[in-house]
Chains A and B, each alone.
Chain A
Amino acid sequence: MAEMDTSGGGHKKKGPGVKKSKKQSTRVDLTPMVDLGFLLITFFIFTTTMSQPTAMKLNLPKDTDKPDEQNKLKESAALTVMPAKNNQVFYYEGLDPTKIQSANFKGIRDVILDKKKRTDPKDFMVIIKPTQDATYKNTVDMLDEMKIDDVKRFALVDITPDEYKIVTLTEQANGIK
C-alpha cells in the first residue's frame, strides 16, 4: 500500500560502464506520520464547537390600557411564581400575594403540574414575576420550565412593590440573606 514499488518492471541492462546502483528499500516508517495525524486530530477535537448555541423565543404581551384588549384571567386559574435571590422561588395561587409559599427550582415543577391538573387548561396561566434579586438564569429557567411543563399561557410581568415587600419579609422570616 504505502510502499511503492519503484524498482521498475524488468531490469533492463544499462549501458556498459554504468555502475549498477545499490537497490535501496523504499519502505517508509509511517510512525511519525501517524503521530502527527493523531496530534492534529486531538487539536481539532478540542477546538471544535459541536453544539451551536440555541435560541429561545419569547413573545411579550403588548402593554395596553384598554380593558377590552387585555387578557382576562380567572383568579382561580392563576399561579404566580416569583424567582428571588439564592435560587429561591416563591409562589401563590390566585391573586392574593399574602398566601405566599416558598419552593426551590426543583420543587416548583411539582407545584406547577399540581396546579395545572386542578385547573381548566383553557384558563390556566402562570405569571412570572422575577424580583430584583433574581438572576437572568433564574428567569430563563422559569421560562424553560413553562416549556417543560407544557404551559400554554404564561407571562413575564414586573413585580409590584407590595409583592416584593412580602417576598423580602418572607425571606427574612426564613433566614435567607
Chain B
Amino acid sequence: MPRAKIPRKSTSIDMTAMCDVAFLLLSFFILATKFKPPEALTVTTPNSVSSKVAPDKNVVLITIDKDAKVYFSVSDGNTSEKKDIIDAVNTAKNLGLTDAEKKNFSTNPTAYIGVPFTQLKALLDKNPADLKGYAMPGIPVKDSTDNELVDWVRAAVGAFQGAKMNLLVKGDDASKYPSFQGVIIAFKKNDQLKFQMVTNPVGAPVGTELYNAQQKSGSKSSE
C-alpha cells in the first residue's frame, strides 16, 4: 500500500508569542503585587461578610494575639501623632522617658507597644532591630481598675484631635473574649464608640437575606 508522504516539518516552534504572553503576565503581576508588610505579630483574623476595605491611614491599631495579649500601634505615616502620644503618656504616667526613647517609638514605623507602663522604658531602650522575637507581656486590660489601654487610647484621641482617627481592632481567632471586652471598655471610657474590626472577606452564605439583597442590587457590595 503506498503511503502518503508526509512532508517533514521542523519541530522548533517560534517562542516569540509565548514569550510575549509570559512577559505580559509578568508585568501585570509585578504591578498588581502589593507586598505584605512584614508583621511582627502573626494574627489570624476571623472571617466576615463585610466587604469594606480596612483603612490604612490615621490608624490606631489594637492587636489581640492568640494568647489574648493586647498591643497598641499607630500607622506608619503618623509620626507627629506618635510623638504626641508618647509625650502624653510620658507626662500622664511620669515615666521619665528620655528624648531618645521617645524617638525610638515615634520614628520606628513598626513600633508597637505590648508592655505595661512599668516596662515601657525598658522596652524603648532596646534597639528596634532587637525586638524581633522579644516576647512582650501585653498591655494589661482585663482588670477594670488597671486598664492601661484607657490611657493609650486617651493619648491617641488627644494626638489625633482634628483629624479623623480610625480605631481598628485586629484580633486573633483563638483569643478569648475578656481581652476584647477590656479593649471595648477602654474605648468606651474615652467615648470612642465607633471602631472597626479587621476581618477576612468571605461571601454571604447562599440563601440568607444578605445574600438575596446582594443579588438584587447586582452583587453590589453591602457595607
Contact = CB atoms under 8 A, between A and B. Distances in A.
A143 B162 CA distance: 30
Contacts, number: 177
A2 interface: yes
Interface in B171-213: 171-181, 184, 187-188, 191, 193-201, 204-205, 208-211, 213
Contacts of A1: 14, 16-17
Contacts of B34: 48-49
Interface string B29-57: 11011111000000001111111111100
A154 B42 CA distance: 31
B14 to A, nearest CB: 7
B173 to A, nearest CB: 4
Contacts of A63: 188
Q: Bin chain A's interface residue count.
A: 35 or more
B61 to A, nearest CB: 11
B163 interface: no
A60 interface: yes
A34 B45 CA distance: 38
Interface in A38-67: 38, 40-41, 44-45, 47-63
Nearest to A37: B22
B201 A51 contact: yes
A132 B47 contact: no
A33 B174 CA distance: 46
A77 to B, nearest CB: 18
A147 to B, nearest CB: 6
A55 B193 contact: no
Interface stretch (A95-103, A134-142, A166-174): A134-142
A144 interface: yes
Interface string A18-44: 000000000001110110011011001
A148 B200 contact: no
A150 interface: yes
A150 B25 CA distance: 41
Contacts of A138: 177
Nearest to B197: A56
A47 B55 CA distance: 22
A130 B193 CA distance: 19
B23 interface: yes
B199 A140 contact: yes
Contact of B199 (A40, A44, A55): A55
Contacts of A133: 176-177
B18 interface: yes
B46 A109 contact: no
Contacts of A141: 46-47
B49 A147 contact: yes
A34 B201 contact: no
Contacts of B122: none
Contacts of A147: 48-50, 210, 222
Contact of A60 (B29, B46, B193, B209): B193
A171 B195 CA distance: 33
B146 interface: no
B46 A140 contact: yes
